[in-house]
């Protein structure tokens, strides 16, 4: 990275009314983003979630057929905590999501259905900060979301969507990537942080299976730590960072 990490982040654009968050798995939005989402829904904005999978491959001790409905339920509860009532699941296969036209089409369809000005997704690059290898699902969905924000506006790319009554939507102005190691913007997390903790705690089964720690201490410690770290570049307020691409 060439830029000094002390460089201050800009406030996120706020002249919008509808956002759509598109990620691979249940809990992807709860590891950091949910505090920003709470502050947006507090302000009367509409936010919907789209998940490429139902997270059925996420728990070693639970077979996929039992895991999927449980994680779907946890995700809906988690969304409700931060004021999000609409959660769609695209039904791609957890762990082996393929980047390609089928994924772009499904996300473009969601963009046309929800007609957002702001689209949110998760880190689409190969690594987390150059240290941890990212999963192929996150890379595929992040990239396809960046692409589908444009596909949604072109009636000839997926003509079958128009036949289904989904007219082109050219209104996406920004795609904001959470978990990027090159963030440009941030949202104050002060008001949303406690709800973000509760939102993550709705994924209790998954947290218990993964960590063996006390879920509440784990969720609070992790999210507070992320928000304070980001806040060093945002006037020392707890914050959630995004890399914002304009369209
Ligand atoms: Zn994930």
pLDDT digits (tens, 9 = 90+) for 45-65: 999 999 999 999 999 899 999
Asked if residue 10 is part of any domain, the answer here is: no
Domain range for 37 is 15-246
Asked if residue 84 is part of any domain, the answer here is: yes
CA of 144 to the centre of ligand 1 (A): 15
CA of 187 to the centre of ligand 1 (A): 22
Q: Give the per-residue pLDDT at 217.
A: 93
CA of 41 to the centre of ligand 1 (A): 23
CA of 133 to the centre of ligand 1 (A): 12
Asked if residue 149 is part of any domain, the answer here is: yes
CA of 25 to the centre of ligand 1 (A): 5
Q: Give the per-residue pLDDT at 97.
A: 98
**Distance from C-alpha of 61 to C-alpha of 241, rounded to nearest angstrom:** 33
CA of 145 to the centre of ligand 1 (A): 15
Specify the number of domains making up the chain.
1
The mean pLDDT of 14-27, rounded to a whole number, is 97
CA of 155 to the centre of ligand 1 (A): 31
CA of 163 to the centre of ligand 1 (A): 32
CA of 83 to the centre of ligand 1 (A): 21
Residue 1: band (very low, low, confident or very high) from pLDDT cuts 50, 70, 90: very low
The mean pLDDT of 131-138, rounded to a whole number, is 97
Asked if residue 142 is part of any domain, the answer here is: yes
Asked if residue 6 is part of any domain, the answer here is: no
Mean pLDDT check: name the lowest of 133-142, 173-182, 198-207, 234-243. Answer: 198-207
Write the CATH number for 205.
3.40.50.10320
Structure confidence by residue, pLDDT tens digits, 141-190: 999 999 999 999 999 999 999 999 999 999 999 999 999 999 999 999 99
CA of 151 to the centre of ligand 1 (A): 24
CA of 58 to the centre of ligand 1 (A): 9
Provide CB contacts within 8 A for 113, sequence distance 6+: 166
Q: Is 140 helix (H, G, I), strand (E, B) or coil?
A: helix
Structure confidence by residue, pLDDT tens digits, 110-133: 999 999 999 999 999 999 999 999
Asked if residue 195 is part of any domain, the answer here is: yes
CA of 165 to the centre of ligand 1 (A): 31
CA of 24 to the centre of ligand 1 (A): 6
CA of 122 to the centre of ligand 1 (A): 9
Asked if residue 222 is part of any domain, the answer here is: yes
**Distance from C-alpha of 108 to C-alpha of 158, rounded to nearest angstrom:** 9
With residues binned 3-state (H G I as helix, E B as strand, rest as coil), the percentages for the chain, rounded to 5, are 40, 15, 45
CA of 28 to the centre of ligand 1 (A): 5
**CB neighbours (10 Å) of residue 117?**
18
Asked if residue 110 is part of any domain, the answer here is: yes
């Amino acid at each position: 990275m060439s830029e000094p990490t002390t460089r201050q982040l800009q406030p996120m654009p706020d002249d919008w009314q509808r956002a759509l968050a598109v990620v691979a798995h249940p809990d992807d939005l709860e590891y950091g983003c949910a505090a920003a989402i709470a502050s947006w829904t507090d302000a009367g904005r509409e936010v919907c979630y789209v998940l490429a999978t139902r997270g059925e491959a996420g728990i070693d001790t639970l077979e996929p057929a039992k895991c999927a409905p449980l994680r779907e339920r946890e995700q809906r509860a988690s969304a409700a905590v931060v004021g999000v009532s609409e959660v769609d699941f695209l039904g791609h296969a957890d762990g082996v999501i393929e980047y390609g036209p089928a994924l772009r089409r499904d996300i473009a369809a969601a963009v046309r259905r929800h007609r957002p000005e702001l689209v949110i997704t998760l880190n689409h690059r190969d690594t987390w900060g150059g240290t941890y290898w990212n999963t192929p699902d996150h890379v595929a969905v992040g990239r396809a979301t960046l692409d589908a924000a444009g596909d949604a506006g072109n009636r000839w790319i997926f003509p079958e969507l128009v036949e289904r009554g989904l007219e082109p939507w050219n209104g996406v102005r920004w795609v904001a990537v959470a978990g990027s190691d090159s963030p440009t913007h941030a949202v104050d997390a002060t008001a949303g942080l406690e709800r973000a903790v509760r939102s993550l705690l709705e994924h209790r089964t998954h947290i218990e299976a993964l960590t063996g720690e006390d879920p509440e201490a784990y969720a609070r410690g992790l999210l507070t730590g992320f928000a304070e770290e980001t806040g060093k570049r945002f006037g020392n307020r707890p914050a959630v960072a995004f890399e914002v691409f304009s369209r």
